């Protein structure tokens, strides 16, 4: 059975998910996100619904509807989950160590019936539908008060950690805050307590004023390469107005968000050659637990999407030290992305 184990030194939780070891892989090793594996064996293709557990959510219509598909987007439980909802939450000691049973949720957003397209190639409406599914599922999972955090993220391509090539994202609800999120919340709180301003709002002001790290703006979102980018072409997408909670995003903004994220992906592909990538949504923790986990989060946190193309393989050293060496200045990355037409 899967479990969460606490690193006794680093105050960091790790999921030991041996259930996931048997999951299928169809990415040819080393291929990029455009690889087309055989749709007949794909558990996410229309007609193969029986290979995935029954849907949590299924939407019809939408611009990617295919004549032979009864749905245009669906969310299914992960068949090889890192965490399971039906597990009882228990905290135990194991000698000097600590564990929590592997309770949580692990869902897959099947983004389109169409096999083997990249997120950048989806129609704008379909990409917006993906973010709408995030909003719906995150909001629903937050009703489970055992879950401290719900994380939505996408791995595209073998090099980004994806195991299947059919376009999909993942949503994980977890009974502990991820360390990076906790550190981000703590950093934002410290800044707010000193200045009485949201650090993300200050970054937006700084980046739109300085312009050298600015990539793109639309009516709802600002896109820039952060000052201390840990990897080449790291790019962040932030709502232009202060919003701590992604589940309150409007339909109009979902479409603007899709535009911003797809613009980044298309420009990466154009400027760098087709790249594998990750993006992840950092929103505030479970509403019901604000008072315990992060008092004042409404004022000091600002939801955003962090995006990373996987163009270097230096993560091992960095991973073991938390110390990053980035060979591309964010000002240079932003200049390239500003000047790329895609």
Which residues 154-173 are close enough to bind a copy of itself by CB under 8 A? Answer: 155, 158-161
Cα–Cα distance for residue pair 240/256, rounded to 1 Å? 11
Q: Which is nearer to a copy of itself, 54 or 97 (CB)?
A: 97
- β pairing state of 235-239 and 277-282: unpaired
What is the C-alpha separation between 174 and 104, in angstroms, rounded? 5
Shortest spacing between CB 2 and a copy of itself, in angstroms: 9
Which residue lies nearer to a copy of itself by CB, 250 or 314?
Answer: 314
Based on CB atoms, which residue is closest to a copy of itself, 58 or 202? Answer: 202
Considering only 65, 107, 184, 245, the residue that binds a copy of itself (CB under 8 A) is 184
Is 229 a residue that touches a copy of itself (CB under 8 A)?
yes
Which of 153, 271, 293, 296 is the binder for a copy of itself (CB under 8 A)? Answer: 153
Please name the residues in contact with 51: beta carbons below 8 A apart, sequence gap of 6 or more: 43, 79
Cα distances (angstroms) measured from residue 37 to each of 31, 85, 154, 195, 265: 11, 31, 19, 52, 21
For a copy of itself, the binding residues in 45-84 under the rule CB under 8 A are 82
Contacts with a copy of itself in 246-285 (CB under 8 A)?
Answer: 277-278, 280
Phi then psi for 101, rounded to 5 degrees? -60, 155
The H or E element spanning position 125 is helix 124-141
CB 43 within 8 A of CB 24: yes
Draw the binding track, 12-41, toward a copy of itself (x: CB under 8 A; -: no contact). Answer: xxxxxxx-xx-------xx-----------
Options 188, 215, 257, 261; binder of a copy of itself; rule CB under 8 A:
188
Q: How far apart are CA 278 and CA 126, in angstroms?
A: 19
Nearer to a copy of itself, 47 or 161 (CB): 161
Note whether 164 and 33 are within 8 A (CB).
no
Per the CB < 8 A criterion, the answer to whether 112 and 64 are in contact is: yes
Q: Nearer Cβ to a copy of itself, position 122 or 160? A: 160
Site for a copy of itself contains 6 (CB under 8 A): yes
For a copy of itself, which residue of 57, 66, 85, 179 counts as binding (CB under 8 A)? Answer: 179
Contact segment (CB under 8 A) with a copy of itself among 34-42, 129-137, 177-185, 283-291 equals: 177-185
What does residue 53 show for φ and ψ, rounded to 5 degrees?
A: -60, 155
d(CA 290, CA 271): 41
What is the spatial distance between Cα 229 and Cα 22, in angstroms, rounded to a whole number?
35
Residue 140 CB, shortest distance to a copy of itself, in Å, is 21
Site for a copy of itself in 322-341 (CB under 8 A): 322-330, 332
* Contact between residue 163 and residue 25 where contact means Cβ atoms under 8 Å apart: yes
Q: Which is nearer to a copy of itself, 195 or 292 (CB)?
A: 195
Cα gap 23→19, rounded to integer Å: 8
Q: Which is nearer to a copy of itself, 246 or 277 (CB)?
A: 277
Contact with a copy of itself (CB under 8 A) among 55, 62, 191, 342: 191
Q: Does 193 bind a copy of itself (CB under 8 A)?
A: no
| Selected binder of a copy of itself within 94, 145, 193, 219 (CB under 8 A) | 94
Q: How far is the CB of 72 from a copy of itself (least distance, A)?
A: 26
User: Which residues face 277 on adjacent strands?
Assistant: 156, 309
Residues counted in the chain: 342
Using CB under 8 A as the binding rule, whether residue 239 contacts a copy of itself is answered as no
């Amino acid at each position: 059975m899967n479990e969460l184990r606490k690193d006794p030194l680093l105050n960091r939780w790790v999921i030991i998910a041996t259930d996931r070891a048997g999951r299928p892989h169809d990415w040819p090793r080393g291929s990029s996100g455009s690889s087309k594996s055989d749709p007949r064996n794909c558990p996410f293709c229309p007609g193969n619904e029986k290979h995935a557990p029954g849907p949590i959510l299924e939407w019809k219509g939408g611009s990617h509807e295919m004549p032979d598909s009864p749905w245009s987007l669906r969310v299914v439980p992960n068949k090889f989950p890192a965490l399971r909802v039906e597990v009882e939450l228990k905290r135990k000691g194991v000698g000097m160590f600590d564990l929590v049973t592997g309770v949580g949720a692990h869902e897959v957003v099947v983004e389109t019936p169409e096999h083997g397209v990249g997120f950048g190639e989806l129609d704008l409406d379909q990409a917006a539908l993906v973010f709408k599914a995030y909003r719906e599922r995150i909001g629903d999972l937050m009703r489970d008060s055992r879950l401290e955090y719900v994380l939505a993220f996408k791995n595209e391509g073998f090099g980004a950690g994806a195991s299947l090539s059919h376009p999909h994202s993942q949503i994980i609800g977890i009974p502990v805050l991820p360390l990076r999120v906790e550190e981000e919340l703590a950093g934002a709180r410290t800044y707010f307590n000193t200045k009485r301003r949201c650090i993300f709002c200050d970054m937006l002001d700084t980046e739109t004023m300085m312009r050298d790290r600015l990539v793109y703006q639309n009516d709802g979102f600002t896109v820039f390469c952060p000052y201390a980018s840990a990897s080449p072409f790291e790019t962040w997408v932030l709502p232009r107005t202060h919003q701590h909670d992604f589940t309150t995003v409007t339909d109009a903004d979902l479409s603007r968000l899709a535009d911003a994220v797809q613009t980044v992906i298309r420009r990466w592909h154009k400027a760098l050659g087709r790249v594998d990538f990750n993006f992840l949504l950092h929103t505030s923790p479970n509403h019901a637990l604000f008072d315990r986990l992060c008092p004042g989060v409404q004022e000091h946190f600002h939801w955003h999407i962090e995006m990373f193309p996987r163009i270097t393989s230096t993560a091992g050293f960095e991973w073991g030290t938390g110390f990053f060496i980035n060979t591309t200045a964010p000002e240079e990355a932003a200049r390239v992305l500003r000047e790329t037409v895609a």
